[in-house]
Amino acid sequence: MYQVLYRKWRPRCFADVVGQPQVTVTLQNELMAGRVAHAYLFTGSRGTGKTTCAKILAKAVNCLNPQDGDPCGECEICRAADGGSLMDIVEIDAASNNGVDNIRTLREEANFTPASAKYRVYIIDEVHMLSVGAFNALLKTLEEPPPHVIFILATTEVHKLPATILSRCQRFDFRRIPPEEIADRLDYVARQEGASIDREAAFLLARLADGALRDALSLLDQCLGRSHTVTEAVVNETAGLAGRDHLFDFAEFVRQQDAASALELIARLHEGSKDMARLCEELSSHYRGLMLIKTTKSARNLLAVPEEEYLRLESQALVIPLTTVLHCLDTLQEALEKMGRGADRRTEMEMAAIRLCSPELDASAAALLRRVEALERGAPRRQPSVQPSAAPPAPSQGPAPSPAEPQPAAPVPTEGKAASAASMAELTKNAVPLDSWPEILQIMKGYSATISAAFTGSSAYVSGDYVLIDAPREMAFELLRKSSQRGKMRDAIQQVTGRVYKLGPYRRPEEQEAQQEDPLLQLAGRAREAGIAVTEKQST
């Protein structure tokens, strides 16, 4: 009979356990020193090795020829334990044996000496499922068991255990296994099974498993059923990650506040037998990805999606404000809770879509914040100048700024060329990177494709009241000399940062040193800065 991978490749000794050195090393040292406790508590999320370590520990304390704290795997005790015929290792499922009578029976059996091993070991899985009466019946035996009895309790919800139980056990916490270690294990298992797995596919499976090696092996088992060469495309098809365009479409409809298109999308999915609760969960996961991308420097390791989908998420995150993302998460979670309480799922999903596309219909705090931000983004950036009704003034030698119009700030200080260069060098010295620069360029793309292309590959820095721009093309600075393009750049910066900045060029330290050494380069740099300043003055 075929044996699934997570059972076939279950570790037989502590050295084979993946990603839990804080547990395995301590247990090995205790066994080698002969410091065997009477009660252990293993806690942690699913698939991290709790039951596996409990079985290894049960074998190790009874092994006839232990080797550095590990069971030998060859003696009659180890073979009987592996075959499931050793009567002195008892596994109990507390989910189905959670009554007082079950614990009383266990207490009576514990008084008998082991049949063939040194210790009688009771492994109680999902111990948090025991009733209050069962916990009380277990207390005395757990505190002072017979000398030949060892209890190993395993649970995923340690907060449900009474403090009286916790204080009587030696506790070990199992962590989620890092993706790198899961990927290495998957590669090893695939090779042993005569198959191959790409590194990208292994990492995708590891991220989907969310730190649970058992889940990763189960997914690998499904993938091997489809192909013996596991690629990222095979994982996408097996795990159901393909065909998720409807999530991006829904988010785009919400951004455009197109309720009709969102409702039509829900209708098509419903006709295709899509469960509305599942759709709500998928949308919540989608908006969670957008939230992580907008709030962290790199969310790649936090999101279990293919590389192509991650790039699409990054692109969509640039154009959707964070307040909209949070409003969508709140609304979808609320709709999911109502679905769980028996409300009509399609109706709840449609109501949620309408509220998301029409935030003025939602009275929640998240919707209010979204509406306020929309007003701020749509508000005019400058007050229009008041034109007098009198006759036009006589022509003058140079343009004179209107007293009613505020003067736009020059990109660099203008108190003489020497002062300008020194001040700009000081600004560059104190500059820090502007992390939201890609989002600003995305907004500029909507204003002008030309200026967006000119600033491709550029970066920006903040220093005081200035945004200093480092662009690889001289055309970018030529465009900034135009007042219309400069104004659009300021508007985009204000739209993202909420603050009005002055603009200026970023001079790298090596460029400053070269200009100090070469008078011609220094003169050229001053001329370029002065040219931008003069152009800005003339535009006012």
Residue 266 token pair: 């829900």
pLDDT value at residue 384: 38
Element (H, E) at 220: helix 213-226
417-539 CATH fold: GMP Synthetase; Chain A, domain 3 (3.30.300)
pLDDT value at residue 96: 86
Sheet strands (E) in 116-217: 120-125, 149-155, 170-174, 196-197
Query: How confident is the model over 370-427, as pLDDT tens digits?
Result: 788 777 665 433 333 334 444 444 444 444 444 444 444 334 333 334 335 556 667 7
pLDDT value at residue 123: 93
CATH placement of domain 179-237:
1.10.8.60
**Per-domain residue ranges for the chain?**
5-174, 179-237, 245-375, 417-539
pLDDT value at residue 28: 93
The backbone torsions φ and ψ at residue 293, rounded to the nearest 5 degrees and listed phi first, read: -65, -35
pTM of the model: 0.64
State the burial class of residue 378 (Cβ atoms within 10 Å of its Cβ: 0-12, 13-18, 19+). Answer: exposed
> How many angstroms separate the CA atoms of 116 and 496, rounded?
72
> How many angstroms separate the CA atoms of 30 and 24, rounded?
10
- Residue tagged 């011609």 (tokens): 520
Superfamily of domain covering 5-174? P-loop containing nucleotide triphosphate hydrolases (3.40.50.300)
Contact 19, 181 (CB under 8 A): yes
pLDDT value at residue 421: 54
Query: How confident is the model over 331-359, as pLDDT tens digits?
Result: 999 999 999 998 899 999 999 999 999 98
Q: Is 367 helix (H, G, I), strand (E, B) or coil?
A: helix
> How many angstroms separate the CA atoms of 387 and 237, rounded?
64
> How many angstroms separate the CA atoms of 388 and 423, rounded?
38
> How many angstroms separate the CA atoms of 24 and 50, rounded?
11
Q: Which residues pair with 230 in a beta bridge?
A: 197
Q: Which residues pair with 528 in a beta bridge?
A: none
> How many angstroms separate the CA atoms of 74 and 76, rounded?
7
Instruction: Give the β-pairing of 502-505 and 432-433.
Output: unpaired
Contact 187, 309 (CB under 8 A): no
> How many angstroms separate the CA atoms of 210 and 303, rounded?
10
Burial code of 453-484, b = ≥16 C-beta within 10 A, e = fewer?
ebbeeeebbbbeebbbbbbeeeebbebbbeee
What are the start-end ranges of the H helices in 256-321?
A: 259-271, 276-295, 307-319
Residues 6+ away with beta carbon under 8 Å from 91: 123, 125
Contact 463, 425 (CB under 8 A): no
Contact 496, 436 (CB under 8 A): yes
Count of beta carbons in the 10 Å neighbourhood of residue 324 = 24
pLDDT value at residue 531: 57
Residues of the chain predicted below pLDDT 50: 379-419, 515, 540
Query: Taking the CA of residue 237 as centre, how many other CA atoms within 13 Å lie in the half-sphere pointing to its CB?
Result: 10
245-375 CATH fold: Zinc Finger, Delta Prime; domain 3 (1.20.272)
Contact 110, 120 (CB under 8 A): yes
